[in-house]
Amino acid sequence: MTEKHTSQGRLFDTAPEWILDDARQGTVATVVLPDGVDRPLDYLVPESLAAAVEPGRRVRVPLGRGNRERVAYCVEVRTGDLPQAPLKSVIAVEDEAALLAPRMLELTRWMADRWMARWGEVLEAVLPAGVRLRRTARVTPLLVATGASPTRPPTPAQARVLAAAAAPITAEALARAADVSRAVVSRLVRTGLLRAAGAVPAAPGRRPIRHDRPESLSAEQGAALEAILDPLRRGKHASIVLFGVTGSGKTEVYLQAVEETLAHGRQAIVLVPEISLTPQTCDRFRARFGSVAVLHSHLSPAERHAQWREIAAGNVGVVVGARSAIFAPTPRLGLIVIDEEHETSFKQATAPRYHARDVAEWIARAEGVPLVLGSATPSLETFQRCLVGEWRMCRLPGRVGGTELPPVLSVDLRDPSSRSRGAITPRLAAGIRWALDAGGQVMLLLNRRGFATAVLCRGCGHSVRCGQCDLAVTLHQPGSRGICHGCGLVARLPADCPACGAPGLVPRGTGTQRLEDQIRATFPAARVARMDTDTMRSRGSHERTLDAFRAREIDILVGTQMIAKGLDFPAVMLVGVVNADAALHLADFRASERTCQLVTQVAGRSGRGSLGGRVVVQTSTPDHPAIRAAAAHDYEAFVRSELPIREALLYPPFGCVVRIVVRSVNGPAAERWAGNVAERLRGESEGVPGIRVLGPAPAPIARLRDRFRWHVQAHGPEGGLLREIVRRATATLATPDDVAWIVDVDPVEML
């Protein structure tokens, strides 16, 4: 390993006094910088620091000619003969204890190789910001209301503070949330109405915990649970896929597996796609186990740090969180669960571009614990691993409680009899009316936000485009603003066509805003709410809307894919998919898979209670295998039709893909550079069977935020070999200043 490193000391002709080049024996620390330098570097450990320098702690080291002090991660320490070349010395040790266990160091090094990221950036990514605070930084204590009655009536300001402190919160966040000064908060601490929180904070604003008791399991649930418990009891690794239709009781299987894990004195990590979109799943874990660390994106760095310490101390049995919760420092890990494993949010979109499913498998294997992956619509990657016998699949084919999967009616939008003035065909309108008349609720999915999806010239057909992206602007009301969904830029729409000058532009296509308007006009007596990123901007708004829907204060919920995930509302009698084709024709080989998953998932929200339910799917391609399978509740039929296509094209899961995206404000420079990369890739893969290089080509979104985008794809049968080729092809490339490029291994996003 030593040969690979370059000692910084070699840069010097005359060694400064702090370089001990006469010592033959000594201790050397290998460190990794979070940014700037890619290679690990070696430093001498002075006697005075020998006890404190250990792998997993951060150290201060001098770097470069200027000996600028940098914080770096120590990844290895060894004692013995020193190299010939003089080494610089470690200056100081940053942390009082190791932040990363040896296994985490091993994991991060594997991740860096697996996703072609720098080791330093992976180390930064697995440690929450709060944990990376300087050792001198004070950890902000959390406050919580004691529940004691005030001796004097509280003022309205104090009442606001106490309400906001129902769950642990920092003093600063509390003052902000209640809109009071810090002095008011301090006074309440002095009077005993607030206290320092010792426990791990719960997600803000949730209901108090009710302890529920385990349900009895169906035969299939029992078999699935046994498949998890068998390796758990024997301390062995196994990957088990719960392929269960919507409403089949997967969560109950997770809960009982976690219960047994805790009974063995071990900890469990449960990954969900996004905390705010899966409040019911989190609630069920909290209700069953009480002390659950919920890691969500609204936590402050101090709160995150507090949770990290509680988990590392072994005080928390269950960790529930999105993607990055997989890095929770559980000393006694016993089980990992990934719910809705097909969700693309498990892959990080920025460097390091890791997939939590693969990380989870690595950890589960290393720790010898079971990994459970659950979905009604498993990804094709997961499905294929079950088909070849690597992973075990347990099927849950029926809903719990004997309720039936709802019948699905496809409405062919090309059929003249289904023509409608708005986005609601007569048959969907009839379905909505049927559900409302029977006292049920309705969910309508339209995966396009805004009022109109385009603003067109009636004369020449030109659509108004974003000034800095290659995208049509979406019309948002009120105020007739044109918003680009690529960069978020808001523009006043022109009065006349920018292309031909003809007066008057017309909105085309329906977004959720317009759909909401049409629903309100058609069903004036119904109470309607909309759930999309435009209406759900403020903290807690998801939960408020879902609570209102649960309390039957809303009859019709209109929304984007936000409403499709794991929600369980027994009174929903009709689910309408307004445009099932919306994402079917995107330039992405996973477009059919995603469409089938989305339609299946949202259809599964219907008929979960005793009232029964129906689903209406509006589509222009009712015969597409993705739509047909979703309508027949037969996801496996889709898998059977899709796998041979992927195999023929050598797409995942039969081949690996590395995508290189090149960006520049200068279009020709981006094109030239992408051409350069493609040429080198072709050179490196010459004579290597099965490697295919596609491009350079403009990316499907050819310009974003004023940057021109080109991409190159390399496909190959085996990931390791493919990455090696990409590494060799890009190793010596000198990148011009006006060009930036990224490497995405196993991309889930191709736009």
208 contacts: CB under 8 Å, gap ≥ 6: none
403 contacts: CB under 8 Å, gap ≥ 6: 247, 607, 608, 609, 610, 612
77 contacts: CB under 8 Å, gap ≥ 6: 27, 28, 29, 30, 45, 53, 54, 55
Please, are residues 151 and 193 in contact by the beta-carbon 8 Å criterion? no
In the bound state with Zn ion, the residue whose beta carbon lies nearer, of 499 and 751, is 499
State the nearest-atom distance from the C-beta of 472 to Zn ion, in Å: 10
State the nearest-atom distance from the C-beta of 504 to Zn ion, in Å: 10
In the bound state with Zn ion, the residue whose beta carbon lies nearer, of 92 and 586, is 586
Closest to 206 in 3D by CA, of 312, 290, 120 = 290
Among 484, 531, 630, 739, binds Zn ion (CB under 5 A): 484
State the nearest-atom distance from the C-beta of 465 to Zn ion, in Å: 8
CA angle 37, 718, 343 (to 5 degrees): 80
Among 460, 688, 701, 733, binds Zn ion (CB under 5 A): 460
336 binds Zn ion (CB under 5 A): no
Tokens read off for 716: 């190959």
Among 487, 491, 586, 611, binds Zn ion (CB under 5 A): 487
In the bound state with Zn ion, the residue whose beta carbon lies nearer, of 384 and 664, is 664
469 binds Zn ion (CB under 5 A): yes
In the bound state with Zn ion, the residue whose beta carbon lies nearer, of 439 and 501, is 501
Calpha distance 54→614 (Å, rounded): 61
Distances (CA, A) of 336 to 253, 258, 318, 442: 13, 9, 10, 35
Question: 25: burial class by Cβ within 10 Å (0-12, 13-18, 19+)?
Answer: exposed
Tokens read off for 726: 């990409």
Among 128, 168, 486, 511, binds Zn ion (CB under 5 A): 486
Calpha distance 512→536 (Å, rounded): 13
- x-or-dash pattern for Zn ion, window 500-519, by CB under 5 A? x-x-----------------
Q: Chain-centre distance of CA 519, in angstroms?
A: 32
State the nearest-atom distance from the C-beta of 449 to Zn ion, in Å: 15
- x-or-dash pattern for Zn ion, window 88-117, by CB under 5 A? ------------------------------
**Which of these segments, 184-192, 364-372, 487-495, 520-528, binds Zn ion (CB under 5 A)?**
487-495
707-716 and 656-664 beta bridge pairing: antiparallel
85 binds Zn ion (CB under 5 A): no
**Which of these segments, 216-224, 319-327, 366-374, 499-507, binds Zn ion (CB under 5 A)?**
499-507
State the nearest-atom distance from the C-beta of 664 to Zn ion, in Å: 17
Chain position carrying tokens 């909105």: 507
238-244 and 392-396 beta bridge pairing: parallel
466 binds Zn ion (CB under 5 A): yes
State the nearest-atom distance from the C-beta of 459 to Zn ion, in Å: 4
**Which of these segments, 80-88, 100-108, 300-308, 460-468, binds Zn ion (CB under 5 A)?**
460-468
Among 60, 78, 206, 462, binds Zn ion (CB under 5 A): 462
Chain position carrying tokens 């009022």: 451
Q: What is the DSSP letter of 493?
A: P
Distances (CA, A) of 604 to 22, 436, 547, 594, 660: 73, 19, 19, 15, 37
472 binds Zn ion (CB under 5 A): no
State the nearest-atom distance from the C-beta of 98 to Zn ion, in Å: 45
State the nearest-atom distance from the C-beta of 462 to Zn ion, in Å: 4
Closest to 267 in 3D by CA, of 332, 325, 186 = 332
497 binds Zn ion (CB under 5 A): yes
**Which of these segments, 415-423, 483-491, 565-573, 666-674, binds Zn ion (CB under 5 A)?**
483-491
In the bound state with Zn ion, the residue whose beta carbon lies nearer, of 92 and 499, is 499
b/e 345-378 (16+ beta carbons within 10 angstroms → b): bbbbeebbbbbbbbbbbbbbeebebbbbbbbbbb
Calpha distance 267→367 (Å, rounded): 12
Among 424, 457, 563, 582, binds Zn ion (CB under 5 A): 457
Among 205, 459, 667, 698, binds Zn ion (CB under 5 A): 459
520 binds Zn ion (CB under 5 A): no
In the bound state with Zn ion, the residue whose beta carbon lies nearer, of 277 and 457, is 457
Provide the terminal-to-terminal Cα distance of the chain, rounded to the nearest Å: 39
Among 15, 189, 312, 499, binds Zn ion (CB under 5 A): 499
Q: Which residues bind to Zn ion, rule: CB under 5 A?
A: 457, 459-460, 462, 466, 469, 484, 486-487, 489, 497, 499-500, 502
